[in-house]
Structures are given as structure tokens and as C-alpha cells.
Amino acid sequence: MLKAERARYILQRLQELYPETPVPLDHSDPFTLLVAVLLSAQCTDERVNQVTPALFARAATPMAMLELSVEEIREYIRPCGLSPQKAKAIAGLSKILIEEHAGMVPQDMDALERLPGVGHKTASVVMSQAFGVPAFPVDTHIHRLAQRWGLSSGKNVTQTERDLKKLFPREHWNRLHLQIIFYGREFCSARGCDGRVCEICRYCYPQRKNPKRTRKA
């Protein structure tokens, strides 16, 4: 089966399975989404959603966030892990948003990536989920599944993102990246499937005899 054929099937099947794609991280605007995505690094969305209500009740804007010390922010987000670095980044980006962007989250990839603690993946999530700009954020689920499904060799997340953008129409990127995440968590997790178990893996590679070894992100 050609790669393009696999891609067409995957797109169709994921649209059938996940016609609705709610954003997994609870938020009310671009700023709270930005903070939530930053907190999700090496942390589950469920844990982030447990932590952010108290934080956002106290500081849901860059100005309010700056009223807190880094240590106070850290106390709110401690359960997410890496709290010292994340607290410092949240304080730092809040300061920059006020000083350079009138307190608003910029709708610009380069400007987002210049914020403390905000890498390409985080910026892509904000662009797609907050502003509706086509982007294809690649997390560990997407990176793993792209290899299992033969859509990318998975040398790194940058290549995986580039390969997926070539395979799928631009208008599907924002929805599709969430659909892949949902499917990976439900059917094709790191331990729940080895490239031969779930429906899509079996469809794409019905003759696969051995587990598919994937490269880490």
C-alpha cells in the first residue's frame, strides 16, 4: 500500500471516530491556553487541568500573573513537575507580553517562539487552537504513530511534522493533529500497541510480523 493510500484511509477513519475535537487543555483565552500548554510539557493533560483552575482563579492575565512571585506561581503548578523552570517561564513570558505585546498573546509563530519556555510545538498548538491558524503540532503520540503507520521515518519531530504536512491537506491539520492524539491515547499507546494490534496499524500493515520499533521524539 502506498503512503498516500494509507494517509487517505487514516484521515477518513479518524474523521469517523472523532468528528468532534475538543481542545484537551481547559482554557478561556489565548493566554490561559499558552500557560496550560507550557505546563503540559512532560505532564499529562489531566494533571494540568487539575492544577490550572486555582492558578487562573488567581491570575488569568499577564498583568495578574506578574503580581505573583515566581515562588508563588511555583506553588500553584508544583504537581505538574519541572515547576521551577515552568514558574520562571510563566513569569518571564507574562512580563514580555505586557512590555512588548500590550498584554496580548501574539498571533505570530516567531514571536511566540521567542517567549520563555515556548518551543515550536507549544507555539504551534497556540496558533492552531487559539487562533485557528493551520499548524501541525507533533507530540510524542503523533511522532510514534506516524512511524507505526509508515507516514514518516521519525528521525526527529521536525521531520515528522514536515512529512505530515506534505501528506495531509492544510485544511485538515488543526483537527487531524488532535484526532491522532485521541486515537493514540485510546487505541495505539506506547504499551497498548506495537504496530500490529490496533485497527489502523493492522489496516496499514496487515502482513507485519514483528513489532514496529519507533524512534523517540
Residue-wise pLDDT for 173-190, tens only, equals 999 999 999 999 999 999
Res 155 pLDDT > 90: no
CATH 1.10.340.30 residue ranges in the chain?
Answer: 30-131
- Catalytic residue flag (residue 121): yes
Task: Decide: 47 and 80 in contact? Cβ < 8 Å.
Answer: yes
Catalytic residue among 3, 86, 110, 121: 121
Rounded to an integer, what distance in angstroms lies between the CA atom of residue 134 and that of residue 136? 7
pTM for the full model? Answer: 0.91
Architecture, CATH, for domain 30-131: Orthogonal Bundle (1.10)
Domain boundaries 3-20+136-204, corresponding CATH code: 1.10.1670.10
Q: Is 82 left (phi over 0), alpha (psi -120 to 50) or beta?
A: left
**Residue among 149, 207, 143 at smallest CA distance from 10:** 149
| Marked catalytic residue, from 29, 139, 155, 216 | 139
pLDDT at 148: 96
| pLDDT band (50, 70, 90) for residue 154 | confident
| Dihedral sign from CA coordinates of 110, 112, 118, 122 | negative
pLDDT(141) > 90: no
pLDDT the model gives residue 201: 97
Percent of the chain residues topping a pLDDT of 90:
92
| 173 residue type, one letter | W
Is 45 marked active-site? no
Is the pLDDT score of 139 beyond 90?
no
Show the 3-state SS of 9-67: HHHHHHHHHCCCCCCCCCCCCHHHHHHHHHHCCCCCHHHHHHHHHHHHHHCCCHHHHHC
- Residue range(s) of every CATH 1.10.1670.10 domain in the chain: 3-20+136-204
